[in-house]
Structure 1
């Protein structure tokens, strides 16, 4: 390296996703989920109904992310190996995108569930249960994504 050019170790390090960004997306999802049902019913259509597919798909995504996070953690932090740069970037992008979507989806299903509170229809209890499970599964996606992001960090960054 040229003596005239200073080294910039760590000048371009990625920081973990800020909690503020995840919180903002969660609140936007919450408001959006609550408004969605109200707006659709106001325009004379039926409320969007949840099936068991939504919570199960989110649970499957959380399990997949958790498995990748565990594998990555073991390889980088337990075995002390380095990931190929392409693989590390792919996992980091997957982790960050999943965390952002997980926050939005968690808030959205929570808002949809809240919109069913106090409703006297026969579907209210069932929809509230499914929305609660989808909210929980969305939270698991968020947690698994954050664990994957943490697993991608090199030992010297901790």
Structure 2
């Protein structure tokens, strides 16, 4: 005779790791992505020379777009911090998750972008006599710094999204 078990009596398996918790973005991951971007950015100019195509020009439009993203992230971080920490307001869970995902995605992407532009700038060091060499160097440096600003403002936003430990009653 087989014994059938009631599905309600079976234990529910626990998910691996801390359930529902997201840790801060690891600095090692950001550094690794930045170094990968640095190498790839540095390889762009030599690859273009080897292929016989002109090296890409860096216009001010993407540089300004990166700066705008950094400013928007900073404003969202400040607003989130003020709402949660200073005023003690509650943030709807889906909005908090959206901001956290935005912060993490922008931090990772910003690290690659910063590394890529800084690597491209490094490839032009000593070649400022080349056609548009100085322009490429300066604009790439500014774009790389804008990428660093994106990472910094993303990490500030990530920090602003933190809540106290202790369960749902402390969720904000």
Structure 1 length-normalised TM: 0.90
Structure 1 residue runs of 5 or longer lacking an equivalent are none
Equivalent residue, structure 2, for 1:111: 119
Return the offset for 1:54: 1.8
Structure with max Cα Rg: 2
Distance 2:85 2:68 in 1: 25
The structural deviation recorded for 1:37 is 1.7
Q: Distance in 2 between matches of 1:108 and 1:54?
A: 13
CA distance in structure 2 between the partners assigned to 1:19 and 1:51 by the alignment: 30
Alpha-carbon shift at residue 126 of structure 1 (Å): 1.2
Is residue 40 of structure 2 the alignment partner of residue 32 of structure 1? Answer: yes
1:75 to 83, 86, 95: 83
What TM-score, normalized to structure 2? 0.83
Name the residue aligned to 2:158.
Answer: 149
Alignment RMSD = 1.9
CA distance in 2 between partners of 1:144 and 1:50 (Å): 23
Q: Number of aligned pairs?
A: 151
Aligned residue for 1:130?
139
Query: 1:36-47 residue pairs with structure 2 within 5 A?
Result: 36-47=44-55
Structure 1 residue 122: deviation in Å?
3.2
- Alpha-carbon deviation of 1:16? 0.1
Structure 1 residue 83: deviation in Å?
0.9
Moved beyond 3 Å, runs of 4+: none
